[in-house]
Structure 1
């Protein structure tokens, strides 16, 4: 499981509709038995796989889980308990007369989780052509051993791979030549900037709002399926959504996790932790390589839905030009471009003689050499800004820590992530193996590894505590991803500077008010400051962003974006949002890359008049 490069500057906004489930409340547990290495795992996998044709409760562990990604349920569903799975399996796999259930040769493998757990994984394929278009599907079956009952199925994962006649959502050929990028193909508008187009209305099957990794990824997937699409982005150039961030911005995730769909975007000439410039260059290469249809300096102002025609009429502004487009689907991939800064209001700000700004307006600390700096916030962005201030030569740097912060050493994370995301494993294979897992199982597996490494690295955390930093040693990676959307620090070196006293910390007492020369904390502590940077987050809910464009009537139909439902599936993201012409995509780079394929397949199915049938029981 990968940690996104988001800080407490990226907290979730208020949710209006969804009843969210905390990831720690989800059911599911890991097997507790150890499987001997001399077991014929291929034979075991074959024998258990055949049971899927007539599944019964006797075939399953009590803790069995089945997660389906569009293959049989037409959406994302996770089922728990033997009885619940038998019912859903019979109503989908059996009722749809799935055929050609086949074990993929030489894929059976023994998975050992430290010295605490083990199971057998094996890949399989099948096809389904009842209840909708002919679907090609894959799966992974996980088998454990019960000392009293023998070999039992512990986990099933089924995934939609493709639909007959739609094209391959996972393969996109590069353009034949650089000149082809500027030609009008697949709805691409090849105008030079500032050139006026005579037609007043154009049509695309899909308009994608946002040209970052999520928007470019879904654009490429749609192009692979020969869907007419347009990506629009408010920034002047491809990659500027990253180039516009503070100067020291970099991913705190592994380079191999950062690729866009279809190819390794970042080869080994790039650094392990990609800078904002590296990411922007990768996005530019992606657009040029595949001829992605993207309009820069363009904003979607409003869009109205015709229920009779099942079509949107959209008003865009491109530079100084007003444009009307029609489309059947809007995909919101606006990401950080739609975030609103959360800026705490403290008394007496008018008395303060210095500078106050939010991290959204921060670029660097070079002009503040010799001054006193204070950073409010202690997650990724807070650490980055404090480190900038120190490197720029401020006379003092103080971090105000508002709550206990999980510190995840980058080297611990690398051990975990590089087991899957490395040059020897295709990115799409790593995505399937990791992101097809039920969330509760991903969480438990990651925590086993990370907590073991943390216990063996206690001196690092002891030193932080001695420096006054309120550290969480044993964090919950899924809580960061799905509940909090940040609030952690991936330690790429700043923790040591805190431990050494180079960056001071004030924890346990939030800011209370300004003084002419700085801040007063609630406990009465006074901090001298010439510049104060708040890394206090953003209010973000894609539903609200979409609502400003589609209007209140459609917004009222939409689900919220992100957070988990009672099954452990994401709310709103990558599936039906409550309106047939609105989709959300986003999340961390891995989620955006992998789940973009499913958004594209669902849209293509609707355009073809063969929408995926939903299993809703």
Structure 2
């Protein structure tokens, strides 16, 4: 297929410049009798001594030496034999989310941070030989270590290099196997816990019985009468609840304010056919995983006995079971910070019209994906149209429009649940949800996968540049599985693409959160003509009875539904914090030049201000990082200053 095969050349695909393929490494021969555990133990022993002594040169000696530096979103001219080398750190050494590429960048980072971090007690965990593709081979090893303030974990991937291609130091002899030496091309370090302040889990829970006092205690905790929270979280979806749960486990007093009447209403108000596209193994929440009877793909609004909705109810039950402090039917009116004390003042209004101003050190914005506000582009004549103009977030069920001509504008995820005539504005990446998503997540997130915390670390340990290369290969495999569907869509004129840098779903999700459709059946309706398709011209204007296009054609409509994604991630911030704060914060969603999210999961330019959003898995993993930053600041372990980009 043309759109799939256009890069079928002997040259490496631009998306794959971040992969250490065997050809780049000089086609090393992996010994049949390779002792993985011995190589891993030798590497970690040398690495541990070097980091403990602050020996930057020693650390670099057990890593690949490379001038490699990629651009995640742009295709750079990189030599075919350029071997990538990465160090990704989450809070452990930088108090930030950072990815360093190339020996020079890593050397500067280690020079600036290694001695101050005071790394000690480096311990090897599991080690294995991994071969995700025939031309990709590495030894993967897990380890733990300590810093002066925390307990941390790490994941290293060792690449096989022909010995003749390396200048070997005396401390690398134990890494030689046959004609190959093993050096790290990818290191991941992640803060897990703070010394002296572990989560109140398991044996650290309160062991005292509570006889008849629990109800009054909970009422008092939730009321916040004559007291202030340490942290205010704006939004009670999965992102807000996850952060609240993490903070509670660290004994940080937290209040969640939610505008809806009930926790879970952000899902209950969605359209009836909505079903999550991620598998259940990927979607667990902190401390309370879904039961083994849970559907593999969670219905957002599966109707049960009393018309309650399964995922929405789970969120509500989650807040109650974990005893999170939540005020529902509460709107945040404004938020300001005292520039001297750095204390936040947040005014909220409850459904009884009462108002209160809370003061606290930390505010977490958990507004939902890209702020949760639907984006409707403006066209001339929209005010003349006699029918309703809706965003897909306002659409509930097809029965609301029975007997009417419905035009759907957009051809990405949210629009395929509503149909009739679809106007496709631009090409779309399509993959099947049932097969494609499982192919993306299989391995760490599966029935037989590792514990969820290990799976999360493994997933996070891939720098985005490397992940893009793997995603490109996986996207090709998914397209092959979906070949008949894609062929059918193309035959009826549906415009297709393979995503940014042909990496399929991955970079689209991280940069736009749109431009893709995870097919749950609507593609076949398009192929069969049950969903009419128009994409031969752009919209010129609306009329009283429909839409007129630039080529002079008209499309009659009684209802127009825009499935055009969501507004910029800062729209809700602007309404609450004002223009100046929003401007200074900048974009929080999307990738920066290192392949990290621009402003999520970390402290923003204003002290004590954080932004949290993402799917269930992203929120599960990164909610702990926000909680650790807040707890560390509260206990004087972290002054709020991160290792600045160099």
TM range (shorter): 0.7 to 0.9
SS of the equivalent of 1:300 reads: strand
Q: 1:403 is matched with which residue: 426, 438, 457? A: 426
Q: Does residue 519 in structure 1 map to residue 547 in structure 2?
A: yes
Alpha-carbon distance change, 170 to 555 in structure 1, aligned in 2, over 3 angstroms: farther
Q: 1:88 is matched with which residue: 109, 112, 136? A: 109
1:592-611 to structure 2, matched below 5 A, reads: 592-611=619-638
Alignment coverage as a number of residue pairs: 569
Q: Which residue matches 2:244?
A: 219
Q: 2:409 is matched with which residue: 373, 376, 397? A: 376
Q: Which residue matches 1:114?
A: 133
Displacement of 1:310 in angstroms is 3.2
Q: Check conservation: 2:432, 2:482, Cα contact below 8 A.
A: no
Q: Distance in 2 between matches of 1:453 and 1:447?
A: 10
Residue-by-residue CA offset, 1:7-33 (whole Å, 9 max, x unaligned)? xxxxxxxxxxxxxxxxx8997333325
Q: Which residue matches 2:176?
A: none
Q: Does residue 413 in structure 1 map to residue 437 in structure 2?
A: yes
Q: Check conservation: 1:186, 1:226, Cα contact below 8 A.
A: no
Alpha-carbon distance change, 606 to 116 in structure 1, aligned in 2, over 3 angstroms: same
Range with greater deviation from structure 2 (449-458 or 142-151) = 449-458
Range with greater deviation from structure 2 (375-384 or 480-489) = 480-489
Q: Distance in 2 between matches of 1:599 and 1:370?
A: 49
Q: TM-score of the superposition, structure 1-length normalised?
A: 0.86
Q: Distance in 1 between matches of 2:257 and 2:291?
A: 24
Q: Distance in 2 between matches of 1:174 and 1:297?
A: 31
Q: Distance in 2 between matches of 1:215 and 1:600?
A: 11
Q: Distance in 2 between matches of 1:577 and 1:57?
A: 32
Displacement of 1:95 in angstroms is 4.5
Q: Check conservation: 1:255, 1:266, Cα contact below 8 A.
A: no
Q: Which residue matches 1:163?
A: 194
SS of the equivalent of 1:189 reads: helix
Q: Distance in 1 between matches of 2:492 and 2:200?
A: 51
Unaligned runs of 5+ in 1: 1-23, 191-196, 387-396
Displacement of 1:595 in angstroms is 0.7
Q: Does residue 472 in structure 1 map to residue 491 in structure 2?
A: no
SS of the equivalent of 2:118 reads: coil
Displacement of 1:500 in angstroms is 1.4
Alpha-carbon distance change, 284 to 353 in structure 1, aligned in 2, over 3 angstroms: closer
Displacement of 1:518 in angstroms is 2.6
Displacement of 1:384 in angstroms is 1.2
Q: Check conservation: 2:370, 2:567, Cα contact below 8 A.
A: no
Q: Which residue matches 1:194?
A: none
1:250-289 to structure 2, matched below 5 A, reads: 250-276=275-301, 277-289=309-321
Q: Which residue matches 1:17?
A: none
Q: Which residue matches 1:502?
A: 530
**What RMSD over aligned residues (CA atoms) do the two structures have, in Å?**
2.7
Q: Highest relative contact order (Cα 8 Å, sep 6+), 1 or 2?
A: 1
Alpha-carbon distance change, 187 to 594 in structure 1, aligned in 2, over 3 angstroms: farther
Q: Which residue matches 1:459?
A: 484
Displacement of 1:185 in angstroms is 5.2
Q: Distance in 1 between matches of 2:463 and 2:573?
A: 28
SS of the equivalent of 1:421 reads: coil
Displacement of 1:167 in angstroms is 2.1
Alpha-carbon distance change, 496 to 553 in structure 1, aligned in 2, over 3 angstroms: closer
Residue-by-residue CA offset, 1:373-432 (whole Å, 9 max, x unaligned)? 21111001111112xxxxxxxxxx111100000001120221221322124332222111
Alpha-carbon distance change, 426 to 186 in structure 1, aligned in 2, over 3 angstroms: farther
Q: Check conservation: 2:193, 2:628, Cα contact below 8 A.
A: yes
Q: Check conservation: 2:469, 2:503, Cα contact below 8 A.
A: no
Q: Which residue matches 1:60?
A: 63
Displacement of 1:244 in angstroms is 1.4
Residue-by-residue CA offset, 1:473-505 (whole Å, 9 max, x unaligned)? 455333212222211000111111111111111
Q: 1:145 is matched with which residue: 135, 160, 175? A: 160
Q: Check conservation: 2:152, 2:193, Cα contact below 8 A.
A: yes
Q: Distance in 1 between matches of 2:257 and 2:279?
A: 28
SS of the equivalent of 2:299 reads: coil
SS of the equivalent of 2:112 reads: helix
Q: Does residue 79 in structure 1 map to residue 74 in structure 2?
A: no
Q: Which residue matches 1:582?
A: 609
Q: TM-score of the superposition, structure 2-length normalised?
A: 0.82
Residue-by-residue CA offset, 1:128-148 (whole Å, 9 max, x unaligned)? 11xxxx211110111010123
Displacement of 1:573 in angstroms is 1.0
Q: Check conservation: 1:120, 1:142, Cα contact below 8 A.
A: yes
Q: Distance in 1 between matches of 2:541 and 2:468?
A: 40
Q: Distance in 2 between matches of 1:178 and 1:29?
A: 59
